[in-house]
Chains A and B, each alone.
Chain A
């Protein structure tokens, strides 16, 4: 049996254990499942990982999150053992320098870590990719997303009494995890993780540093151009030159794209061209007025929200009834943080 390094506390009842977690400052404000050794060992057994293995390192403070600490926090979040490999893959993705964990989780703007899960594991653990996509109600979505933020809370100092300096914060820090609705993708479109280079049939998670999303909806026409003009209009409140921008698109709109034979590249190109604001409007509204790019632009030059067409990430998701998209800007408009995809390693499949 694996040997665990974490300090143990014994209390008289499960309820007392929950209260102890509150007193110790270990919860996000909601009750947690008491992390017993037996439950934590089940998680480690399921993932087939050594407890002392590091999965996430805070790049500035040097704090190391081991598989053991990840498991304890996943138990507390309410995960089942079969959710734990997704949590581990997400934490490993958050270790990538391009994700910029320190800046992304402690900044004054206050983004949340949004996870998007792809592949067969979505069905296997019963994740929601459909109706009420960002709502409470699905255990896997809710607890996987919560586990990531509990790790930040308990292990890397992402809390206001330590390093977190966010002014308004973000509700997604309780939990912000969805699955892609791959079956709603138009013909010829690849699932998100396959676009990122992983094999079809693999399972993966992608982490984004999500700002507060913007919702657009247009029910006046099945024409992709008319739908996307509405989306472009919503997007123009964002600063120009986003290096990366996520758009979650509902099945109804995806069906319109399918009928019109629009590719993902077509959508990116159209929004790159249409989501623009004149130079004078950008200068007066954003601190980009200082930037050499914006200073050099003429008053009537139309500055694009997307730095280039390929800066747009598209994920399928949401319920049937309604032509909606959610536009999710990334921390620092994708300049400070990029999304990272990692394959979910299931026991017996990880590389040695």
Chain B
């Protein structure tokens, strides 16, 4: 029996990763006079960690204000109102996970 090899053309099943269009924001030269947002991700203790970070920053800089929020659910994106509020009020936002 003669087996004839048959060429096969197949299609690529993958989707290319999209290069991130996100740009890193310009870093402020100082935190003096800046409103700092603290966004906990909803895991237990993430808010405690950020409280501690906030206290340290207040000791070291003349922070204008701290705005602490918790997105409440580590698996889901932060609700739009929280993101909008932090974007509107803060010059810097720090986020944290915990468990």
Contacts and interface: CB of A to CB of B under 8 A. Distances in A.
Nearest to B16: A63
B79 to A, nearest CB: 12
A8 interface: yes
A contact patch SS: mixed
Nearest to A287: B44
B8 interface: yes
B65 to A, nearest CB: 26
B75 interface: yes
A157 interface: yes
B43 to A, nearest CB: 9
A323 B77 CA distance: 41
B12 A61 contact: no
B24 interface: no
Interface in B1-31: 5-18
A103 B76 CA distance: 7
A186 interface: no
A3 interface: no
Given A13-B6, A14-B6, A287-B99, A76 B13 contact: yes
B18 A69 contact: no
B15 A65 contact: yes
Interface in A189-242: none
B64 interface: no
B76 A100 contact: yes
A9 B18 contact: no
Contacts of B14: 24, 26, 69, 154-155
Interface stretch (A30-38, A130-138, A306-314): A30-38
Interface stretch (A15-23, A78-86, A175-183): A15-23
B17 A69 contact: no
A59 B11 contact: no
Contacts of A155: 13-15
A93 interface: no
B11 A6 contact: yes
Contacts of A20: 10
B75 A17 contact: no
A7 interface: yes
B38 to A, nearest CB: 19
A281 B57 CA distance: 39
Contact of B8 (A10, A24, A156): A10
Given A69-B13, A154-B13, A287-B99, A62 B18 contact: yes
B17 A11 contact: no
A180 B46 CA distance: 42
21 contacts: A4-B11, A7-B11, A9-B11, A10-B7, A10-B8, A10-B10, A11-B7, A13-B7, A14-B8, A34-B8, A35-B10, A36-B8, A40-B11, A62-B18, A63-B17, A72-B11, A104-B75, A155-B15, A290-B45, A335-B73, A336-B75
Given A13-B5, A155-B13, A331-B75, 12 more contacts: A4-B11, A6-B12, A9-B11, A10-B7, A10-B8, A11-B8, A20-B10, A24-B14, A36-B9, A61-B18, A69-B14, A154-B13
Interface of B: 5-18, 44-45, 73, 75-77, 99
